[in-house]
Amino acid sequence: MKLEPTCLPVTHPTGQYDVLVGTDLLSNLPELADIRGPIALITDSHVGPLHAHRLGEVACTVTIPAGEQHKTLTTVATIYDQLLAAGIDRQATVVALGGGVVGDVAGFVAATYLRGVDFVQCPTSLLAMVDASVGGKTGLDLPQGKNLVGAFKQPTAVLADVSTLHTLPPEEFAAGMAEVVKHSLISNPELFGRLETRDWKLTAQSSISNLQSLVATAIEVKRDVVQEDPFEQGRRATLNLGHTFGHAIEQVSGYRVRHGEGVAMGLVAAASLSARLAHCDLALQGRIESALQAQGLPTRIPAEFEANAIYQAMFSDKKKAAGKLRFILLRDVGNVFMTGEVSEQDVLACLTAVQST
């Protein structure tokens, strides 16, 4: 029996769009996303050969090299050139087919090309499905740090076709699970409990019904937060749990550390710092580590990345305010908050404490 897609409506200041989670979505893209004009497809060198054929007829396909190192203004400029050469006008819809990097790049292009064209997200990685594709934020990296250039660009639809997860390498699926754990910590204790007890040990090869349930449950957390705070002026900042640490670890590693792996290490560091500052019980760190380890994720920062270097990299984080770093910390599962009142000494001690020996 065919499983019906899960539909999650998302409202934002200028309208609404639906997130559809299910199978066989890509082959019905124009109908499901209500695309009436030509399609300008943006994908990457890994995903394009696997899934682009499922979308049917497109007016233009732009394939960018895969990898975080290509999430740059230089890449965006090459896309503009190709769209112009193909005669893509304002009646077109930019469709992002790929992971978080493709979604960020394509979203930024859609927000700025000809002062804005319609945009549809077709995320193919777990990380992109549960996090990057929902909420309307796009970002590009500069040499100084991650996501320092960007725009808010709401999609007209998000099609999370979970059958694409079957082609995802195990390490990439695990990286996406870091964001699922993060979402559970922010506001879904029941989901965290299932992850913690290994009741929900999923892989890219898990049944479609389990994958659909996982993705929809995780998306609901983010959907509820971004609806409440569409422009990151309050509660939405809590979605950065683990990211101040994680982004810095990624940067210091030269982006050899995957985003999800950096987030996993960052979640442990955030719990450690929270316990150090007496905001939560130290046992919470152990529980978070257990949930991450169950998904095959790292819970210790490699010793080769010096604490001082990570701390300095944090200052390129766009989330700092008035020169002060801002951290999302935990009181308990489902109870997080933001603070800028953290000393350098405490951060460095925390980083040292969660490094591998």
For residue 222, indicate whether it is catalytic: yes
Q: For residue 279, indicate whether it is catalytic.
A: no
Q: Phi and psi dihedrals of 139, rounded to 5? A: -155, 145
Token pair for 255? 């982006």
- Which is catalytic among the residues 71, 137, 146, 153? 137
Beta-ladder partners of 45: none
Alpha helices in 253-306 (DSSP H): 259-276, 283-294
Catalytic residue among 153, 223, 240, 289: 240
Q: What is the number of alpha carbons within 13 Å of residue 285 lying toward its C-beta?
A: 23
Query: Is 240 a residue of the active site?
Result: yes
Residue 325 tokens read as: 């770093």
Give me the catalytic one of 232, 235, 306, 318: 232
**Residue 12 among the catalytic residues:** no
Which stretches of the chain are DSSP H helices?
A: 29-33, 48-51, 73-85, 100-112, 126-127, 170-187, 189-196, 208-228, 243-252, 259-276, 283-294, 307-314, 344-353
For residue 191, give the nearest of 170, 228, 220, 165 by alpha carbon.
220
Find the catalytic residue in 179, 196, 261, 289: 179
179 carries an active-site annotation: yes
In the annotation, is 326 catalytic? no
Residue tagged active-site, from 71, 182, 243, 319: 243
253, amino acid identity = S
DSSP string, 99-146: SHHHHHHHHHHHHHGGG--EEEEEE-SHHIIIIITSSSEEEEEETTEE
Say whether 153 is catalytic. no
- Is 236 an active-site residue? yes
Q: What is the sign, positive or negative, of the torsion defined by CA atoms of 70, 72, 75, 79?
A: positive
Helix (H) or strand (E) segment spanning residue 103 = helix 100-112
- The answer to whether residue 68 is catalytic is no
Catalytic residue among 2, 4, 115, 341: 115
Annotated catalytic residue within 46, 222, 276, 319: 222
Give me the catalytic one of 259, 279, 319, 326. 259
Of 247, 258, 276, 326, the active-site residue reads: 247
Q: Which of 236, 276, 319, 326 is catalytic?
A: 236
Active site residue 228: no
Catalytic residues: 115, 137, 179, 222, 232, 236, 240, 243, 247, 259
